[in-house]
Structures are given as C-alpha cells and as structure tokens.
Structure 1
Amino acid sequence: MSTNAPRADVVIGVDMGTTSTKAVAFTADGTLVAFASAGYPLDEPLPGHVEQDPQLILAAVHQTIRSVVDELGAHRIAGLSFSSAMHSLMALDQAHTPLTAAITWADTRASAQAERLRASPTGLALHRRTGTPIHPMSPLLKLMWFAEHAPPLCQQARTWAGIKDWVLWRLCGELVIDLSLASCSGLLDIHTRQWDPEALALAGITPAQLPRLVSTTHLLPTLTEAAAAATGLPRHTAVVVGAGDGPLANLGVGAVRPGVAACSIGTSGALRVTVDKPAVDPRGGVFCYALTDERWVIGGAINNGGVTLDWVRAEIAGGQAVNTQALLDQAATVPVGSGGLIMLPYLLSERAPHWSSLARGAYIGLTRAHGSAHLTRAAVEGVCLQLALVLQSMQAAGLQIQEIRATGGTTRHALWQQILADTSGLPIGLPEGQEGSGYGAALLGMQALGLIESIDVAAEHIRVDATVQPQPEHAATYRALREIYEGLYDALVPTFERLRELAPSLPLAAP
C-alpha cells in the first residue's frame, strides 16, 4: 500500500457533559483515533441553584476539538456530531447573548412549582404527552419558576435555549434544537412532535421563543470564521446536530435492541432501554426521550452517581489526595451490605423513580463499629440500589430486560461492576472503550454523513470486552436490602418536608 494514501475518514463526537466536555474521533469501523477532555465547575450560587458558565463550556468545546484535530494527523475529518447533558436552560437576548447562566438538570429551584403541578390533574397528563417527568430538572418547570420569580428577565428574554443549542449557534450561526433535547424539555408533545400548547402556556412562552426544531441527524454545513479559527477545522466541515447524552449512550454501548438496557454512571446515572415508539407508563414512573425520529429510549435517571463517591472521598475519606482506586479497593474488603449500613445518596436531591426534589441524603444504621470503608461501600451500594428501583419501575411498565450494558468512568472499577450486577440481578456487559455518549454521537454523525449503513447495524458490532455475572447469594442479600431501602424514602418524606420548612433558618455557612 502506498504510504501517501489518505487515511480513513473520522467523525468527531463532542460530548458536553455535566463537569467536562470530551471529544472523541472514531473511524467507521469503530476504531478510536483520538481523545481529549476539558473540565469546568458546577456552580451553586444559592441553595438549590446549580448552574454553569456557558462561556467555559464553549471554551472546553473549542479546546477539545482542537486537541483532537491536532492529534489526527493525516486522517480526513468527515464532520462533527454533538451530545450534551439534558434539561439545560438559558435565557438569550435578541443577539443570542446569554442573560443567565446555563441552568442544569441538577438545579432544584423549581421544586415548589413541580410539586404543585405534579399534584394537579394536569401533571400526569403532561408527563404522558411530553415524556418528561414533572420534576425541577425539566425546562418547563424552570420556565415556570422564572415567570414567577423574575418577570423582568422574562420580558427581556427573546429566546430560551439549551446549552447545546447555544454552542451550535456559536459554532455555525444557526439556533436549532434537536428532537432529542426537545423531547426532554417538557414542552414537546412526543406523539405529535409539536410544541405542546398547554405546556407553553404554563411556561409563559410562545413557539417563537424557542429554537427551530430539527431532527437529530440535521446537518449544519458551515462553521463560522471564529469557530474555524478556535477549533482548527476548515469552515466547510459538516456539523451534525446530534442528541441528548442519555439516548446517545444507549447507541454508544449497542443497547438498541429489545432486552438490552444501557446504564451510564457519571456524575449522575441513568438506566434506559431503546424502543420503536414513544410511550410512558400509566403511572408516570419513567421518561421517554428521542434518539432519532424512529428510535426512542424509556427509562429513569438518578441525580447521584459518581458525585456521591466524590463527596465521600472529599468529606469522609481524607480529601482529594485520596486515590479513588485505592478508596474503592478498601471498600471492596467490606462484606456485602456494609455491616447493616444503608446510604440514601440523595446529595443532589433525586429523580427516578419518585420524581420528587424533597429527598436528602442519609446514612441509616450507623454505629461506632463502622469505619470509612463501610461508609464508602454503602455509598456505592446506595447508588446501585437506586438504579435497581429504576429497573423495577421499568419492569413494572412492561419492559423485559435480560442484560445491562454499563458505561461511565465509575464503572471501570470491579466493585461498581459487581455491585451493579448483584443489585440488578442481571449480567453487566462492559463495552470496549466505554465512551458511550461520545461514540454514540460519532455513530449518529456517521449515519447522517453516509459513512455507515445504519446505526442499528453499527451497534450490533460493538464489542463487549467482559461480562460480570450476578452472584446469587449477594443478589439475595440485596433484594432484602432493596425492600428496606425502598421503604426508607416514604418513611422519611415527613422529615424531608419539615427540613425544607426549616431550611431558611438553618444556613449552611456563617454569613
């Protein structure tokens, strides 16, 4: 072969996550060619307010793309495709300049609005039509909060958009929202694929105040001069709009056929299964979001994944100097069940399956005999037990699941893998590479650009490096603990309510 022959085309998947942006370059056969990551803070300026600086996220996008471009050498870049964390919201003025920070999925300022709407006859009907639970994470509820608490801002705002919508506008000069992110806004009727009039009325906005709705494979064919200079890409580079990180994680790990669920545990966590038609269970225990026009994901998300272990390490186990691997190795020496210690890992409140922002974290059963390793293991078990409750809700909705494909940084450790298998009672497949959402974005881009036959064919060829089987005796223990764990939420609701009432008089820090 001639050494001057051009190398294979690559698509760069850009995944704008909660605490970092990752860019990954893949060839059509699934080979990872380049990778880059850049982090940014998650700000909490007020209790319940969880925001990000959109300029820092844009800078991370520029930085990671340029790093990958510099690493690619002679590889031809066919295009970019995007993934982002879901449920973000920001107000823009007439020039699309942000008037607010990017309000994230973890923000709970709209708790009162969510509880009020969920208690009304309208709430469940909206959930069934829009696929989005009535929860403060939802842009619909955030808009209701702004309408009640910041009327002057609402009058000034010309457009309400998500972080990916705005970043794509900065890159390409077009303000659009993909079907996937629209489907998790609480504003879109997922059955008609039109903005829901009742939801818009509750939010106090009109369709003209939202970005133009496009498919997840929509092409934006030209970069702005500024974006080309910042990324090192030619202006003619094709940009595929992409989708939300949850649905793309299913694609990235090959969980696109019946019976195979995807579990992603990053800062937060989620369990999802792919279906052909949008639907929500009658009780409203699950969400339903789009991957493409023909493929949807049903499942539940939890607020507290890896962030729980980060907190344990920082506040209990000795601080940031403690190595996470060593921390988990120590926790693995503790027997199943953490010596009767249960952690409710609701540090950032919680989402599925209760969809209430009331919850707060707690250790139950703590004794003097418990040490740091017990508290660490109980935190991991708590996250996995919460995911087991999500799985239980999915099964109650009639979804048959035989296997879980896991992805995310936390699942690289054997302790997470085994506890996830034991609490779910299902085999856990560990896909090669574990860049779920980024690879999913790249695959979606490849389909849009004609580099692969279809995402379904490509997903079937995703290799599973290893499978972790549940251990029957451990699974039996966790089934018993799950019953206790599940009952703790209901038992503590009155306590959560009372604490919320007292919260204004109980400041976290001295003034």
Structure 2
Amino acid sequence: MSHVVGVDIGTGSTKGVLVALDGTVVAAARRDHVAALPRPGWVEMDAERDWWDDVADVLRELTATGEEVVAVCVSGLGPCVVQTDEDLRPRRPAVLYGVDTRATREISEITEQLGADAILDRCGKDLSSQAIGPKLAWLRRNAGRDWRPRDRWFSAHSYVVARLTGEWILDHHTASQCDPFYDVHAQDWATDWVEQVLPGLALPRLVWPSEQVGVVHGAAAVATGLAEGTPVVAGTVDAWAEAFSVGVRRPGDLMLMYGSTMFFVQVLAEPTSVRGLWTTVGVEPASHTLAAGMATSGTITTWLQDLTGGVPFETLVAEAAAVPAGSEGLVMLPYFSGERTPIYDPLARGVIAGLTLRHGRAHLLRAAYEGIACGVKQIVGAFEEAAGRPARIVAVGGGTQGGLWTQIVSDVCGLEQQVPARTIGASYGDALLAAIGVGLVPPETDWAQLDHVVQPDRSTEPAYSTLFRTFTELYPVTRPLVHRLARSAHSGGEPE
C-alpha cells in the first residue's frame, strides 16, 4: 500500500507523519530541539543539527515501518534565513523569523531607500522583523568574509529539500515573505529591488508548495532511509501548511494557530495591502492570504511551568480553570520577545500588572492566556476591518488540547471556533501536499474533519470587557519604561 510522508520543522521540535492516501495516519515521529538566544533580540538555530539531522532522524524512524513511501514533503518555521556555500555547509547559525529582531537598522534603511508606501503596495506589507530582506542585509553588514552574494540562502524547509535533492528552490509563499524582494501581484521576484538593496544576490528557483521539485539522491537515501528516487515536493512555511491541513482554503476562512507563537492566516478573495498586516501569496497558485503573528504565546506557558518548579502542565491548567475570568485583577502584556502584530515593537517587553500576595501560579497562567486572547481580539478586529468578518475560524495547534486556552480566546473575542478532529499540525498538511504533488489524489482533496465547536461563554463578557480596556491602555503607558529597560539589556548597562 502506498504512503506519503510529511515532516515539519517547528520552533521546539520536528514532527513527521506517515499517511495513507485516505488521510489515515499510520505512524508518527518527533525530535525536540531548542532555539539559541545568544544575545537580546537574536534567535538562532543550527541548520545542520536542528533542521537536517532532526529531519533525517524522523525519516529513518518512519521508513523503518517498512511501508512504501511514494512521496515526501517538508515544511518549516519561517521565514528564516541560513547562508551556505555550494556544498550546503552553513556559514553561520540560521536567523529565525520575526522573533529575531536584530535587523531593526536594516529595516529602517531599506524602508527609507525604497519608500514605505511603495513597499506596502508592491510587497503587501510593511518591512518588519518578519521580512527576510533586512535579515540578508544584516548578514552582509556583519558577516565579513563569510558574506558572498553568490552563496545560496534558504529557509528551513528549502534547506532540507536541498539536502534531499540537491535542488535550490523556494516556494512562492515563502518568497512572498522575503520582502522587499518579491512582488505579490506579479507573483515573481522583484529583481530590480534585489539589485538596489543587495547587488548580485543569487535567487533560488520559484516553485509552488505542491510542486514536485526533485527526487531523493543517493547520499540522502542513506541518511534518511528513503528510497533513492523518491519524489520530493516543495513544501512551505509551517503555518500555511497547517492551514492547508485543516481545509482553510476558501476566501473568508481564518486559521488561528495555537503554538509557541500565535499565528493567523485568512484566505482572501483578492489581494489587499493593509498597513500592520501581511498580505502574502497562498499555498495554491494564484491565491492570496492575509496573515499576522504574535511573538510569544505558548512559550510563555512553558516559561511559567519552568518558573513554578516544573509542576505537571495539566495541573497548572486545571488550577487556572478554577480562577475567575479576569484573573482577580491581574493583567499580562505577553510581549516577552517584543511583539509583531499588532504593535510591531521589537523593544516591547512583558508586563504583569495588578500583582498581590493573593495571586499564585494559577492566576499567572490564566492571565497569560487572557493577555494572549486580548492580542488575538486586536488582530481579528484588524482582519475584519481589512477583509470583512471571517466566514469561519478554525483553531489548530498543540494549544487547542485541554480546551482552556481556546475557551478563553472565544470568551474574550466573542467568537466561535471550529476545532478539527486532527490537530496534528503542519506535517499532516505536508503529507497532503506530497500526495497532491505527485498526482496520487486530486488537487481539491481535503482530509480535514470537524471534531467540535468552541462557543463563547457570554457570562464572562463584563469581566473581559474591563480586562480588554485595561490591556489596550497598559501598553502605551508602560512603553517608555520598558523601552528604557530593553535598551539597557541590549547595552549591558544600567537603566537610563
């Protein structure tokens, strides 16, 4: 019986699934890893160890089942950037997506060079820490002899594709986050801007996420257990692969991804440029999406668990569920790594306000969930203003397990959320892309099935109305103070 494999490189782990052509998951594998934080504002990974070695391990475990694998597809956290030589040896650690905020100077310089309005019109979004162009410019400025314009550069999944096949490709969606080097309307590289910003920069071949781009070569077959000649499909950024996995493919569909970061993808009827949100190319040809992302979400809950002595997370969640809405006067700004949408402030920091001696770990966890939910409400409101009220909202990711987090988001936002039967993640979408890419299932195939719907609890409206007002007022009044502290941390000096 034929099977396909999907593998996703996430912020905290690499996960893979072996899937039959009817969508049945036959086997799964996982390898954990941790991003490095070498300096304030820097978030890095070792592409060789954290990306390729982990994927190879996962593939060996899945192929050890003995089932026939007829295609493979890989997605990954992103957009990221790692620069390599022609032999695919990384010249330095990979720079991660919007959580890495080192390129603030380059963002300002490129924006001034090309014009903010021109960038928004052509690329579909303002330059931010999410954009790859400024990160490449930072590498040029700081890499010294390690910078070679003709070197190859990759995001996480495209690096693995190169290790599997030898092909240097980038899917259109990921390319559409390489601002300001991609034109979302022409759906092609903006080569004139590339030459203005980084003259001579080599560019990968553009493909669509479901396109077969090569086959597994001999060395990769030995490393992974895949048969030599196995077709490899391009893949894309993890959030878009996950949206694809749960059927978020029609205009008006909005995915909320509950993970290390909170991520949002809504399918558009037509492209639109909205300041503060990200217009990108979608997974399928000629499609467009509107996206947004918070910088820290699930990572805060992990931090809290570690801070409270490693108590079982199920215990923490049960305790937080018993705390009343509003966390008895506690409010948290979840800006522990700066913030992307909606404030775009790399110097923002976490704030916990209203602490008393009565508050305990359960209050802190609930306040974290509620603070994240307030951020979600701000972002969903921006989506509605830009593209109309979402036709449906689909909740995915590990954070949907247990139910408290999703319930709080529905309560704070007053919105219904659909939770699929399978919230496996991007790797499941990769498997579907692999099957479509080699023609084993029709392009319109959808493996998603609904499990349940989260309805808002209207009794919480008074408490959450007050909380949201406090949340939105707290950031502006604390901004100057946390900026001072953030600059002090960057410089290693005392607060000004």
Question: Into which bin does the TM-score normalised by the smaller protein fall?
Answer: over 0.9
- Per-residue deviation at 1:415? 0.8
**Closer, same or farther: CA 507–430 of 1 in aligned 2, 3 Å:** farther
Report the equivalent of 2:252. 259
Report the equivalent of 2:213. 220
**In the alignment, does 2:114 pair up with 1:128?**
no
Q: Deviations over 1:251-307 (max 9, x none)?
A: 1112222333111111111121112443322x3434424212132321211111210
Report the equivalent of 2:339. 350
Q: Deviations over 1:465-503 (max 9, x none)?
A: 111100112244323322322232233332233224333
Distance in structure 1 (CA, Å) of the matches to 2:431 and 2:54:
18
Counterpart amino acid of 2:291?
Answer: G
Report the equivalent of 1:91. 83
**In the alignment, does 2:163 pair up with 1:170?**
yes
Counterpart amino acid of 1:487?
Answer: E
Q: Deviations over 1:223-268 (max 9, x none)?
A: 1212111221111211101111121111111222233311111111
**Closer, same or farther: CA 115–353 of 1 in aligned 2, 3 Å:** farther
The runs of at least 4 consecutive aligned structure 1 residues that moved more than 6 Å come to: none
**Closer, same or farther: CA 94–238 of 1 in aligned 2, 3 Å:** closer
- Per-residue deviation at 1:120? 7.8
Counterpart amino acid of 1:148?
Answer: R
Contact 1:161–1:210 under 8 Å retained in 2: no
Q: Unaligned 5+ residue runs, structure 2?
A: none
Counterpart amino acid of 1:193?
Answer: Q
Pick one of 294, 302, 319 that aligns with 2:294: 302
Report the equivalent of 1:330. 319
Distance in structure 2 (CA, Å) of the matches to 1:295 and 1:436:
21
Report the equivalent of 1:435. 424
Report the equivalent of 1:188. 182
**Closer, same or farther: CA 436–132 of 1 in aligned 2, 3 Å:** farther
Distance in structure 2 (CA, Å) of the matches to 1:28 and 1:121:
47
Distance in structure 2 (CA, Å) of the matches to 1:278 and 1:159:
30
**Closer, same or farther: CA 363–54 of 1 in aligned 2, 3 Å:** same
Distance in structure 1 (CA, Å) of the matches to 2:466 and 2:14:
39
Report the equivalent of 1:492. 478
Contact 2:326–2:463 under 8 Å retained in 1: yes
Report the equivalent of 1:382. 371
Query: After the TM superposition, which residues 359-374 of structure 1 pair with which residues of structure 2 at under 5 Å, given as runs?
Result: 359-374=348-363
**Closer, same or farther: CA 202–487 of 1 in aligned 2, 3 Å:** farther
Report the equivalent of 2:27. 34
- Per-residue deviation at 1:28? 2.6
Report the equivalent of 1:3. none
Contact 1:279–1:288 under 8 Å retained in 2: no
Secondary structure at the aligned position of 2:400 is classed as helix
- Per-residue deviation at 1:111? 2.2
Q: Deviations over 1:176-200 (max 9, x none)?
A: 1111111111121111122224642
Contact 1:93–1:156 under 8 Å retained in 2: no
Report the equivalent of 1:278. 271
Distance in structure 1 (CA, Å) of the matches to 2:383 and 2:175:
22
Count of residue pairs the alignment pairs up: 491
Secondary structure at the aligned position of 1:177 is classed as strand
Question: Which TM-score applies when normalising by structure 2?
Answer: 0.93
Distance in structure 2 (CA, Å) of the matches to 1:312 and 1:465:
29
**Closer, same or farther: CA 442–295 of 1 in aligned 2, 3 Å:** farther
- Per-residue deviation at 1:151? 4.2
Contact 1:251–1:436 under 8 Å retained in 2: no
Contact 2:268–2:387 under 8 Å retained in 1: no
- Per-residue deviation at 1:201? 4.2
Counterpart amino acid of 2:283?
Answer: L
**Closer, same or farther: CA 260–163 of 1 in aligned 2, 3 Å:** closer
Counterpart amino acid of 1:499?
Answer: L
Contact 2:157–2:235 under 8 Å retained in 1: no
Report the equivalent of 2:393. 404
Counterpart amino acid of 1:256?
Answer: R
Query: After the TM superposition, which residues 21-100 of structure 1 pair with which residues of structure 2 at under 5 Å, given as runs?
Result: 21-56=14-49, 57-71=51-65, 73=66, 75-100=67-92
Counterpart amino acid of 1:425?
Answer: G
Report the equivalent of 1:393. 382
- Per-residue deviation at 1:147? 3.1
Distance in structure 1 (CA, Å) of the matches to 2:408 and 2:32:
28
- Per-residue deviation at 1:62? 0.6
Counterpart amino acid of 1:308?
Answer: I
Distance in structure 2 (CA, Å) of the matches to 1:505 and 1:21:
34
Contact 2:279–2:288 under 8 Å retained in 1: no
RMSD between aligned alpha carbons? 2.2
- Per-residue deviation at 1:413? 1.5
**In the alignment, does 2:306 pair up with 1:314?**
yes
Pick one of 200, 203, 211 that aligns with 2:204: 211
Q: Deviations over 1:7-43 (max 9, x none)?
A: 3x22111111112111112223221111111111201
**Closer, same or farther: CA 206–473 of 1 in aligned 2, 3 Å:** farther
**In the alignment, does 2:472 pair up with 1:483?**
no
- Per-residue deviation at 1:122? 1.4
Report the equivalent of 2:172. 179
Q: Deviations over 1:401-429 (max 9, x none)?
A: 14321111121012112112112211121
Pick one of 456, 460, 466 that aligns with 2:452: 466
**Closer, same or farther: CA 118–256 of 1 in aligned 2, 3 Å:** same
Q: Deviations over 1:421-447 (max 9, x none)?
A: 112211121111201311211112222
Contact 1:280–1:288 under 8 Å retained in 2: no
Q: Deviations over 1:91-115 (max 9, x none)?
A: 1223332101111112111123335
**Closer, same or farther: CA 244–278 of 1 in aligned 2, 3 Å:** farther
Pick one of 133, 137, 143 that aligns with 1:140: 133
Q: Unaligned 5+ residue runs, structure 1?
A: 1-6
**In the alignment, does 2:150 pair up with 1:150?**
no
Contact 1:286–1:393 under 8 Å retained in 2: no
**Closer, same or farther: CA 87–425 of 1 in aligned 2, 3 Å:** same
Which shifted more, 220-229 or 412-421? 220-229
Q: Deviations over 1:364-406 (max 9, x none)?
A: 2222221111111101111222122111110110332143211
**Closer, same or farther: CA 241–505 of 1 in aligned 2, 3 Å:** closer
Secondary structure at the aligned position of 2:64 is classed as helix
Distance in structure 1 (CA, Å) of the matches to 2:142 and 2:94:
17
Distance in structure 1 (CA, Å) of the matches to 2:12 and 2:409:
23
Contact 2:167–2:214 under 8 Å retained in 1: no
Distance in structure 1 (CA, Å) of the matches to 2:39 and 2:46:
15
- Per-residue deviation at 1:124? 4.0
Distance in structure 2 (CA, Å) of the matches to 1:334 and 1:161:
45
Counterpart amino acid of 1:494?
Answer: P
Report the equivalent of 1:341. 330
